[in-house]
């Protein structure tokens, strides 16, 4: 069965510093992969998604993620963090069939704090 | 995009009681989904609700415990029956936008505390 692990429950970075949030997935085959962000008191919003193809995908607000089949990873990166990035970030995996997009399997989430 | 509004934002109830969580979409959507999230854990899909048909439940979730109604294409209600402290979590409704830019949209969540 597919699964997603986000090994870091909490991450704290300084404003302006670079960021990497880790995501490891387990799936037999080629998955669709997603990063969602949850700002305080809001629902989850899609940051970016990976379809089979270019391993580096660009998202909104300067975020990008890199798919690695050999490492079963889909880490999220940002070159310079802003205080408004303070949120919880979720990695998710879905089977390749588009009809299953609803059945995303989410990781536990990583809570990002940004300090001055 | 689809905007989803949930009501209430949070609720506190006594064990053994039932409560309803409403989800309203700003446009018609074919499917609505309900997720459960325990504190600092991942979201778990509870059920899929299509208009005019019985909801489809995932393993570990039942119709008797979590009945879901979907009377039209913009509305759904999740009921938590015989609430227990173990049901304390955040409940999200979600809908799917298909096509080339396929994605899920989420409501802001309803935080339930059962005493």
| A62 three-class SS | helix
Average pLDDT of B82-104? 86
Q: Do A98 and B104 touch (CB under 8 A)?
A: no
Q: Do B108 and A42 touch (CB under 8 A)?
A: yes
B63 contact A CB<8A: no
B99 contact A CB<8A: no
- For residue B106, give the nearest of A67, A74, A43, A116 by alpha carbon: A43
Domain spanning A3-115, CATH architecture: Sandwich (2.60)
Q: Class of B4-114 per CATH?
A: mainly beta
Q: What is the DSSP letter of A70?
A: T
Do you know the residue count of chain B?
Answer: 115
pLDDT of A68 above 70? yes
Per-residue confidence band for B100, with pLDDT thresholds at 50, 70 and 90: low
Domain boundaries, chain A: 3-115
List, for residues A71-114, the tens digit of each pLDDT value.
Answer: 999 999 999 999 999 999 999 988 655 455 567 889 999 999 99
* Average pLDDT of every residue of chain A: 90
Burial of A2 from C-beta contacts in 10 A (0-12 / 13-18 / 19+): middle
Chain B residues near residue A43 by CB distance under 8 angstroms: 4, 92, 94, 105-109
Question: Worst-scoring range by mean pLDDT, A30-39, B82-91, B95-104?
Answer: B95-104
Alpha carbon of B14: minimum distance to chain A alpha carbons (Å) = 24
Domain boundaries, chain B: 4-114
């Amino acid at each position: 069965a597919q699964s997603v692990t986000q090994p870091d429950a909490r991450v704290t970075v300084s404003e302006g510093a670079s960021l990497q949030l880790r995501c490891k997935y387990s799936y037999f085959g080629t998955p669709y992969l997603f990063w969602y962000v949850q700002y305080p008191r809001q629902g989850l919003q899609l940051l970016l998604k990976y379809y089979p193809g270019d391993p580096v995908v660009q998202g909104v607000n300067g975020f990008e993620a890199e798919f690695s089949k050999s490492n079963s990873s889909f880490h999220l990166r940002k070159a310079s963090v802003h205080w408004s990035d303070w949120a919880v970030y979720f990695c998710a995996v879905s089977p390749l069939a588009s009809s299953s997009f609803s059945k995303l399997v989410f990781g536990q989430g990583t809570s990002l704090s940004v300090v001055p | 995009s689809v905007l989803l509004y949930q009501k209430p934002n949070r609720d506190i109830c006594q064990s053994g009681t039932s409560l309803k969580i409403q989800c309203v979409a700003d446009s018609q959507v074919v499917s609505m989904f309900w997720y459960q999230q325990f504190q600092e854990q991942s979201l778990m899909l509870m059920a899929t609700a299509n208009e005019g048909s019985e909801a489809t439940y995932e393993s570990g979730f039942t119709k008797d415990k979590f009945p879901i109604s979907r009377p039209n294409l913009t509305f759904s209600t999740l009921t938590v029956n015989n609430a227990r402290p173990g049901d304390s979590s955040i409940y999200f409704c979600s809908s799917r936008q298909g096509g080339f830019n396929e994605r899920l949209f989420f409501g802001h969540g309803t935080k339930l505390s059962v005493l």
